[in-house]
Structures are given as C-alpha cells and as structure tokens.
Structure 1
Amino acid sequence: MTNSVFSKYPKPEQMLASVGDYNSEILQVNGHFHTPYSFSAFNNISQPFDMAKQENVKVLGINDFYTTDGFEQFNALAKSSGVFPLFNIEFMSLQKDLQAAGIRVNDPNNPGRTYFSGKGLRFPVHLNVAMVDRLFQIQEESNRQTAQMIGKLNELLAEIGAGFSFTFEGVKERYAKNLVRERHIAKALREAIVDAYPVEADQKTCFTKVFSGKEPKSAMNDFAALENEIRGNLLKSGGRAFVPEDDKAFLSLEQVIELIIHAGGIPCYPVLLDNPKGEFTDFEGDYEKLYQSLVAKNVYMLELIPGRNKPEIMEEFVHFFNDRGFVITFGTEHNTPQLDPIEIFGGDGKELSPAMKKIGYQGACVIAAHQYLKSKGKVGYLQKSGKAKVDKRDEFIALGNAVIKHFLAQ
C-alpha cells in the first residue's frame, strides 16, 4: 500500500518549533484544478507540477470530479517535484427542494444543481463498501449519459456523410481515464474533423453541417473556442447530441457531505460569485443569507476561482466570510481546453492582492494540518459531529504552515 507523505513526520510540537511564523513566507497556492482523470487542460498529470516549478507555486490541490483515481500518481509527483499536495474531490449534487423552488445555487443554468468539493481527503483513501458503491453509481451514470451522447452524435455524422464515427470505449481509451465527460466528446469531434479534412475551408464546411447550417465563429486553430462551440451547439440542451442527466447521476448534498467526511475530508462549498455582467445566483446574492445557509449545513469552508470574478467583489466577499471564521481557498479549475497559468490571477488578469494571497495560503495550511492529523489517526479540523473547529483555525494555520515547510525542506 502507498504510504502517506506524512507517515514519518515528527510530532506537531517538533515541527512547530522548527519553523517561524507563517507570515514570514506566504507561499503561492493553487488549491483546485482538474487533471486528465476527469477532464483538464493538462495533457498529463505531471504538467501542473512542471508549470508550478516554473511559476514558483509551492502547493497544488488535485480536485477531480467523482474520483480519487489520480491521488497515487499525484502523491508520487508531489514527492519527486517538491510541491506540497492537497488531496481533494468534486461532485455535482442536486438539492431537490431548491430545484423545485427554481433557486440557482452555483450552477447558473440549472436550479438546485450544486457543485461541491471535499478538501484534504485521507490518503491512501479508505471507503467502506457502501461509499464505494455510491461513488461507482454516479461514475456509471455519468458514463451512461456520455455513451448515449456519442450514439446520438454518430446518427448526426451518418446523416451528413462525415465519413467517421465514434465508440464510447474508443473515446475513453484515447481521451479519458475512467470517466468520459462531454468535453472529451468535443475534443474527439474536433480532432476527427481536422484529421478527415486537412484543408481549413473543408473543416469549416464540416463544422457548419455538424452545427445544422450554423457557421463556426471560432478560428480553426482556436481549439478551446471550437470545443466550446461544439458543446454549445451539440451537447447542451437543444443540441442534436444532447442527453439530459438522470436524477440517478446526482447524490443529494447530504449524501455528498457524508461521503466527504467518511473519506476523511472537509466539506467545501465552491463559490460562483459574479458573472461578467455582475450578476449573482439566487443562492449567493445575499452574503448574510448564504452564510446562514452554509452554517446550517455545517459547512465552514469556501473556495473561489478568482479568474472569473471582479477583484473588488471577490475581496469584499472573502473578507466577509474570513472575518466570520471560514476557511477559504483559491484555484484555477483548468476544466476547459484552455491552458492558463497555474499561478492564480484575478478577473482583471492581475496578481491577487497580498491580503488574498495570505488568506489563500492560510486555507491551504488548514487543509495541510488536517491531512497530517488524519494520517496520524487523529480527528483533524472537524469535530466528530462534523462541525469545524472554527475557534482553532489559527492553530491549524500554524500547524499546517509547519507541515508544508517540513515537506518542502526535505
């Protein structure tokens, strides 16, 4: 069995005595990105580590959908690269009461649908049979949906005489790991059109046929934009290859939180916040109401993707929740074909402010301390009731800083 990176670490008091105050060195962190184990801009799981070395990012957090399959490779790369690992996971859950009420949570298009992360899972991962079955159920439902999409896409390709088609297993083998996402289908289709029609004008003609007479807006060499057009025209609601998700593809939020805690992690709500038009979802528009809703569910951790928010709005939001004892982390997601830097930038393209960098590092420290304590068989940042130790946040920040610095000094 793979050993935890913390298996031979000294006791907390020894590590705390060996480092100074964390304020003396605020490290750069990216606590949320996806890898090819779900879908990612990265060609392989080692790429973010290579980029982190170039960009001086010292802490990385894997955050794949529905799976921990990448943890072992992520752990090995962290050791060999000297970059501290955070072991996370993400789910799409469904709150049926909010769906019935038409309340959008952190999916702007689907009421009730709720993205939700687990931070600092125990590694190696230990789940009982019921939890494993629950995880496999949503993976299988997700794959069933994408397999049906591929079938509908093949019908369209036959109609227009494209000269090629796909199989689910073929897409999975070439583009995915265990989980096939609609983004994999979009990438497969784009590459197949390019392979079948080497001349750019012929590629445009084929895309126009695939889009039912609608010409593509993107340049043929703008891969990310083209794949987004494929998703929008074919794989989303109203598209020829669209297949609606069955309720069986979603766990309830309560089930997701139960699974995360059972896996040794900390429940974390991913905040969407403002869109380019300055709009908020129904669930997030009122900070005080959002605070009360999260506390009622024993959720005391948030994460944001700063690149999609206006800095002044994000800072106001972060300070509101940080002042109320929440732990806050930041990431880049990298869940599109576009390869952005691994360093985190704000929605204005500029570096995060010193205050935001500090809060983001503090969040990583809490997760690091939690991972370390769980590896030692201790309780971690959550009480046995599932409630966070908000009054101990500063102690966890100090311990986590020591854990990270101990790791980086090896």
Structure 2
Amino acid sequence: MRIEDLEAQLDDFDFERRKTAFLKLSEAYWRGEISFPPPRPVVNLHFHTFFSFNACGYSPLHIVWRAKKEGLSVAGSVDFDVLDALEEFRFGGFTLGLPVVSGLETRIYLPEFRNEELSSPNEPGIAYYMGNGFVRLPEEGTRAFETLRKLKRIAQERNKKIIARVNAYLQEATIDYEADVLPLTPSHNPTERHIVVAYARRAESVFPNPQDRARFWAEKLGVREEEIRALEKDRASFYDFIRSRLMKFGGVGYVQPDVGDFPRIQEVNEMILSAGAIPSFSWLDGTRSGEADPERLVAFCEANGVETFFLIPDRNWNIPEDEERKLKVRKLYEFVETARKHHFPVFVGTELNRYGQKFVDDFDSPYLAPLAPFFLESAWVLWGHTVLAMSSGRGYTSDWARRTFKSRATKNQFFARVGRCTEASWEAVRKLGERSTESLLQEFGG
C-alpha cells in the first residue's frame, strides 16, 4: 500500500484500522524507507483531534505522524471535554520516539469576574480552562470521573438547544442530532463546528443547484447571493461565516450560557489533579476587561490553584490590520512577561480546529522570535512533568514536587531539564522512574 493511502487510513474511525496503518508507516520509518528532518525548536501543544474537532479530520495517530514528519520537538493533544485521545496519542508518540503530552479544554464560571469578559467573548465570568499533561484517565466511580462526564453532558445539551433553534429558523435544511451530527465524530463528542458541517451538507443535499443554494443561504444569513458564492470558494471562511451568523453571540441559534451549568475552578482542578495533570488558564488576547490587568489575573490564578497558562500566539500577531496587530502584540508581550516574572510556564499551540490554521506556529516570525525560547522551555517543563508523573508519580503538581521544591523557578528549571534530557521511549521513562530523588536533583538541579 502506498504511503499516501496509509496516511489516509490514519483517520479511519476504526481504531484497529488506523493503528495498523500507523504501525506500517512506523516500521517503514525505522527501516529507513521514510526519512524525517531532525527535531526543530518548535512545538504545538494544542492539537485538537477528531475526538472533538480537527479541521483536517486528523486522528491522534495522524497528528503524531505529521508532527514527526515536520520535526516538532513536542506535540500535544487537546480535546473539548474528553480525554479520548490520551492513550492513542501516547502510543503514537512512544512508537515514533516523539515527546507527546495530552490535555483537555473546557469552560468554567468564575464569580469573581461575573461582570467581566475573559476568554469567552460576550459571556462575562466564563473562561476557557485546561488541564495539561494527563497521564491517566479518572477512575470510574470517582468524583473526577463524574466531573468529566458532567463537562461532556453540559456541552452536548447546549448543542441540542442550538440545533433546535437553528432548525426552526432554517426550516428547509434541518438536521437531526443523532443521524447527522453524531456520526461526524468517532466518540459522539460533537462541537459547534460539527454542527456547521452537518448544516452545510444538508443544504447541499436539499439544494443541489448552486444558484438555489446560494439563494437559500443569502436569505438565511442576511447577505447578497454573490457574497455567498464568493464565500463558498473558501470553505474555511464559509463555515466560519455560517457559525458566526447562526450560532455565535447575536445569532438565532446562540444559547446564552447558564452560569449555573458551568463547574467552578475548584471542581475542575480536583479532576485535573487526580489524573496527574496540571491546571492551566487560557488567555485570549488581553483586550477583554477581565484580562486587562495581567498582574491581577496572574495573582487570581495563583491564589486559585492555577499552575500554568495557555495561549494561541497566532491570533495575537497574524492580523492584517496594523493598529489591531500592534495592540494585541503589545498585550501578548505584557502578559507573557508577567507570567514569566511570576515563574508560570506558558504553553502554546495553534488548535487546528479551524480550517486554514497552521500546523505549527511561525516561531521565526519577528513577533514570536523573542518569546520562542520561553515557549520551548515551557514545553520541556510539560514533557518533564509527563514522564516523571508516568514513571513514578513525581509530576509537577505532585506532593513530592511540593515537598522537594521551594520555589516555582527552581521547579520549572528542574522539570525543563528532565524534559530536554528524556527521550520518548518506555525504557527511558522506566529508568527515570527508578531513580532516587537525590540522583534526580543531582543531575537536573533543584
């Protein structure tokens, strides 16, 4: 079978089929039949997989394969409200010798910011929140397991409300949640983006004639037919336009969040910590009221169990309008410098859950180059945490770490050194776990 065919099979919803393809590709790589570049000083710790929504339809194994091909130093999976990618992503990374980490993204309600916007625009008090560096799944029957189930349930209930509203509005091109949306994801965890795809496909089915379809969308989205025809040439822009007009704030399908539905930070932290991961606060762009003062935000996070921050650099500099770009670049630097001053690692990535997003950030950009070493160092902290947590329960948020390190700065330095020096192999992780605290501190500092 050709390499291209095997790569296409990596996205099969059947795990055994994609695993078979992945192993064949991996064997070809280890035999020297496929060559990859050496690792570069670039990372992406925020790849959505097809277990939530990946714009390319990539499975966890496909992301690992491409990350290896493109020379990433560390790759990270992140999905909304599920950890379905965790074990597959780790299997892929260790098979290819690529450092990999896995995380989860959700939303929480912060009553302290009830009148201020954070990373969820137009929704005061609601923030995107993450756990990074998971090493195991919450055990069934535990509070952590129930919290994870709750996160998924909240999201799915909201999806159904959106569909009911949009169906009532579109009328001629309605969809069914079970029949049209759930089959788009292998683990029945659809997002708004899956819903958009389902509506676009239904419109194509109901209106096979392009003129009729353009007329339909023009009427429903409130624009001229020629604008629809232009948008349809760029799937990314068209899907985003449908989503913004129908499902986002101000759209007919928008569902105003009930703050009572969202968990509080303490509940989510408990789940994250119980699974050996690190609580991480998502920062948007610094232009929202709740993010305006980085010192205040970092102090709040430190007081509430947050250990790291996460952001998407591309949305803060890759902007066509000069004044907006200058503002957001300034805000980006202010926030990163504040986080660094207080010794908080900052993780970065591109998401890859929107059509047209980059596979990896342009770390050579003049806007990112000054920050790139810190972002890379933070990624090594996360990998160092992952391998020590996996091997011996001595991760970044462990009781052992609290006893051993007297400052964040010392802890960060230690875990970054562990990360840089530990290859992605089961043998290396096993040997690391067997070492005494004294031996680890002697080699890696602390």
Q: Give the distance between the partners of 2:425 and 2:91, measured in 1 at CA.
A: 17
Q: Which amino acid in structure 2 is aligned with residue 199 of structure 1?
A: N
**Counterpart selection for 1:222 from 209, 231, 234:** 234
Q: Which runs of 5+ in 2 are unaligned?
A: 1-38, 318-328, 430-446
Number of the residue aligned with 1:243: 255
Q: Which residue of 2 aligns with 1:38?
A: 52
Alpha carbons 1:48, 1:342 under 8 Å: kept: no
Counterpart position of 1:75: 90
Alignment of 1:350-361 (within 5 A): 350=365, 353-361=368-376
Q: Deviations over 1:250-289 (max 9, x none)?
A: 1111211121111111111111124xxxxx1222222222
After superposition, where does 1:315-394 map in structure 2 within 5 Å?
315-336=333-354, 338-345=355-362, 350=365, 353-384=368-399, 390=408, 391-394=410-413
Q: RMSD of the TM alignment (CA)?
A: 2.8
Partner residue in 2 for 1:121: 134
**Contact residue 306 and residue 345 of structure 1 kept, 8 A:** no
Deviates more, 1:214-223 or 1:167-176: 214-223
Deviation for aligned residue 1:352:
6.3
Partners of 2:139 and 2:145 within 8 A in 1: no
- Counterpart among 395, 398, 401 of residue 420 in structure 2: 401
Q: d(CA) in 1 for partners of 2:266 and 2:152?
A: 18
Question: Are residue 175 (structure 1) and residue 184 (structure 2) matched?
Answer: yes
More moved, 392-401 vs 239-248:
239-248
Give the deviation of 1:188 after TM superposition: 1.0
Q: Which residue number in structure 2 is paired with residue 252 of structure 1?
A: 264
The whole-number CA distance in structure 1 between the counterparts of 2:348 and 2:426 is 21
C-alpha spacing 1:398/1:75, structure 2 compared with 1 (3 Å): same
Deviation of the 1:112 alpha carbon: 0.3
SS in 2 for 1:358: helix
- CA-to-aligned-CA distance 1:69-88 (integer Å, 9 cap, x gap): 12122223223443221111
**Residue among 214, 218, 237 paired with 1:208:** 218
Quote the residue 1:290 is aligned against: 297
Comparing 214-223 with 89-98, greater Cα deviation is found at 214-223
Higher helix share: 2
Task: Give the Cα separation in 1 of the matches to 2:158 and 2:285.
Answer: 29
Flag the structure with more relative contact order, 1 or 2, with Cα contacts below 8 A and sequence separation at least 6: 1
Amino acid paired to 1:258:
E
Structure 1 residues 145, 319: closer, same or farther in 2, change over 3 A?
closer
Residue 213 of structure 1: how far off its partner (Å): 6.7
**Which deviates more from structure 2 when the two are superposed, residues 322-331 or residues 204-213?**
204-213
- Provide the secondary structure at the position in 1 that maps to 2:201: helix
Measured in 2, the distance between the counterparts of 1:244 and 1:319 equals 34
On the 8 A contact 1:105/1:284 being kept in 2, the answer is yes
- Name the stretch that deviates more: 206-215 or 384-393: 384-393
Amino acid at match of 1:350: S
CA contact (8 A) 1:42 1:48 kept: no
| Residue from 264, 272, 275 that aligns with 1:263 | 275
The alignment status of 1:186 with 2:202, answered yes or no, reads: no
Whether the 8 Å CA contact 1:150–1:166 is kept in 2: the answer is yes
Provide TM-score, normalisation by structure 1: 0.81
State the distance in 2 between where 1:26 and 1:300 align. 27
Deviation, structure 1 residue 300: 3.1
Alignment partner of 1:152 is 2:165 = yes
How far off is 1:120 after superposition? 0.6
Structure 1 distance, partners of 2:213, 2:427, is: 49
Shift of 1:210: 2.5
How far residue 214 of structure 1 moved from its aligned partner, in angstroms, is 6.3
2:170 and 2:299 mapped to 1: Cα distance? Answer: 50
Q: Does 1:303 align with 2:316?
A: no
Aligned partner letter, 1:85:
V
1:166 equivalenced with 2:175 (yes/no): yes
Residues 37-64 of structure 1 deviation map (CA, whole Å, 9 limit, x = unaligned): 1122131214433432343213111111
1:406, CA displacement in angstroms? 5.8
In the aligned structure 2, how far is the partner of 1:408 from the partner of 1:198?
56
The aligned amino acid for 1:306 is P
Amino acid at match of 2:332: M
The verdict on how the C-alpha distance between 1:315 and 1:26 changes in structure 2, with shifts beyond 3 A counting, is: farther
Counterpart CA distance in 2 for 1:232 and 1:353 is 29
Measure how far apart 1:169 and its partner are.
Answer: 0.9
Cα offset, 1:409, TM superposition: 9.4
Alpha-carbon distance in structure 2 between the residues aligned to 1:214 and 1:136: 43
**How far did residue 240 of structure 1 move?**
2.8
Question: Alignment identity in percent?
Answer: 24
Give yes or no for contact 2:117–2:123 (8 Å, CA) kept in 1. yes
How big is the shift at 1:355?
Answer: 4.2
The 1:352–1:395 alpha-carbon spacing in structure 2 relative to 1, beyond 3 Å, is farther
Conservation of the 8 A alpha-carbon contact between 1:365 and 1:404: no
Deviates more, 1:381-390 or 1:301-310: 381-390
Matches of 1:94 and 1:156, distance apart in 2: 30
The TM-score with structure 2 as length reference comes to 0.75
Cα distance in 1 for residues equivalent to 2:269 and 2:81: 13
